[in-house]
Amino acid sequence: MRITTFDENPIAELPFLNAGKGAGGYYVERCPVHTGTIAGLPDSLDAIIATADLQGRERMPPNPARPPRLLGEVLPNLLRDEYLPNLHLDPQRVGVLLGGDFYTVPALDKRGGNGDISNVWRAFGDVFRWIAGIAGNHDRFGDRAHPGDRLAANLHYLEGKVATIDGLTIAGLGGMVGNPGKTHRRTTLEYVDVLGDLLDSPVDLLVMHDGPAGNLPGQLGYSDLNDAFDLLPPTLIVRGHAHWDQPLPELPNGTQILNVDCRVAIFRREGGNLRESLSS
């Protein structure tokens, strides 16, 4: 698969509450929704959506007596009701890629908390054809690091796995390089070893939380991984963890990296005119 266009001007910006330091320290931030086109979609899909690092909560909760819901719980219905109709997209013909880190503490008084994101996955699964993704370093599923067999049939948790979904071969590698004594962390050597096993055979998509660096200043990542990708056939990587102002670099071997840290990207089949859809 290959992204053929990416519009850096978002069609919308979703306001949400981001955690601050201490009680009442939260603030309003915005998550952009971008559009583009992609080549290589199977006949069963009209689009793919990718997102990661939605570490915030809704600004206007429907029930003031309860904590605001996670942004990732609210987003699927917003996409279905407000944005996909303008793009003439049926959510049951749309797949979703989740790149991890969808948790923020309910009180919004601390950055970097860890917690349950099961409702985020369920919310996406209730709306879209299928979901494929991994966990970020802040994510839990209930009281466990991984969901096990708890997920619905259309939810594909790909930690260290390769799956074929609608004819697409998708690999997943979550977490980050770090102290392996902590959840969702591996040493650099372990990370590279798992990556090598996943890419023994060509894949259409690789979903990661952390990942290789881009080739421009500010596109942070692990350069050791870049060396590994130089030896592999071109692929499409979707990743989060570190925010890049320019989200779609290309490595020397032709591999594209799409950074969706605090972004939503909607890619329709190549040949569709997104701006015409938006204005019709």
pLDDT tens by residue, 108-161: 988 878 999 999 999 999 999 999 999 999 999 998 988 987 789 999 999 999
Average per-residue pLDDT for the chain: 92
Contact in structure between 243 and 55 (CB atoms under 8 Å): no
With 70 as the cut, is the pLDDT of residue 205 above it? Answer: yes
CA distance 200 to 160: 12
Q: Is 158 left (phi over 0), alpha (psi -120 to 50) or beta?
A: alpha
CA distance 226 to 219: 12
User: Which residues partner with 263 through β-bridges?
Assistant: 52
Amino acid at 43: D
With 90 as the cut, is the pLDDT of residue 83 above it? Answer: yes
Closest CA to 205 of 237, 247, 248: 237
Task: Give the CA distances from residue 191 to residues 14, 86, 241, 265, 275, in Å, rounded to whole numbers and listed in that order.
Answer: 33, 40, 15, 26, 40
CA distance 62 to 3: 37
CA distance 192 to 144: 24
- Among 135-139, 197-201, 221-225, which stretch is predicted with the lowest mean pLDDT? 221-225
Sorted by sequence, the CB contacts under 8 Å of residue 91 that are 6+ apart come out as: 79, 80, 84, 127, 128, 129
Please report the pLDDT score of residue 21 as a whole number: 74
DSSP one-letter code for 191: H
Please report the pLDDT score of residue 254 as a whole number: 93
Residue-wise pLDDT for 1-55, tens only, equals 999 999 999 999 999 999 887 677 889 999 999 999 999 999 999 999 999 999 9
Please report the pLDDT score of residue 62 as a whole number: 74
Structural domains in the chain? 2-279 (3.60.21.10)
Please report the pLDDT score of residue 48 as a whole number: 99
Over range 248-272, report the average pLDDT.
94
pTM reported for the whole predicted model: 0.93
CA distance 155 to 187: 28
CA distance 199 to 146: 22
Over range 59-64, report the average pLDDT.
80
Please report the pLDDT score of residue 93 as a whole number: 98
Please report the pLDDT score of residue 275 as a whole number: 41
Over range 73-84, report the average pLDDT.
98
* Proportion of the chain above pLDDT 90, given as a percent: 71
Interhelix angle 118-127/71-78, rounded to 10 degrees, is: 10
Structure tokens of 52?
């990661």
Helix (H, G, I), strand (E, B) or coil at 225: helix
Cβ atoms < 10 Å from Cβ of 225: 21
